[in-house]
Amino acid sequence: MFKTATLAIIAIAASATIASADSNYINSLAKEQASKTNIELGLVRSNAAGVVEIYSFHRGEVGKLLGSTDVHAGANPDVDVNIRRATTNAIAVLKVGGQIVETQEIDFN
C-alpha cells in the first residue's frame, strides 16, 4: 500500500503545479517547520471541501499518517495540523473527494 501511495504522491507532486495551479495549493512557505508536533501550513486553497493529511516522509517513502484537518472550498487561512511527534521529515497531502490534488514536502529545522 505504501508503495502505491508513494508512487501516486510522486506522480501528483510532479504534475500538481500544472494541474492545480488555479484552484488547489498549500502555501509554499510551509516547507520548513520549527515544531515537530504542530505543522503551520498557512494558506491552503481548495476547489472543494477536502482534507489535509500529514504523513511521515523519508527518502521518498511515505510513512504513517501523523495527523489531519478538514478544509473547506476556497481559501483556508492559517491552517495548522497537530501531529504526533515527527521523527523524520513529513509531507502534507491535500485530498478532495478522496483524490490527491496537491502535496508539499515539509522539512523540520
pLDDT tens-digit profile of 42-78? 999 999 999 999 999 999 999 999 999 999 999 999 9
pLDDT tens-digit profile of 19-40? 444 577 887 666 778 788 888 9
Amino acid present at 87: T
How many C-beta atoms lie closer than 10 Å to residue 40's C-beta?
Answer: 15
CATH level 2 (architecture), domain 2-108: Sandwich (2.60)
pTM, whole model, 2 decimals? 0.76
Long-range contacts of 12-15 (CB under 8 A, 24+ apart): 12/100, 12/101, 12/102, 12/103, 13/103, 13/105
How many C-beta atoms lie closer than 10 Å to residue 18's C-beta?
Answer: 7
Q: Give SS3 for 70.
A: strand
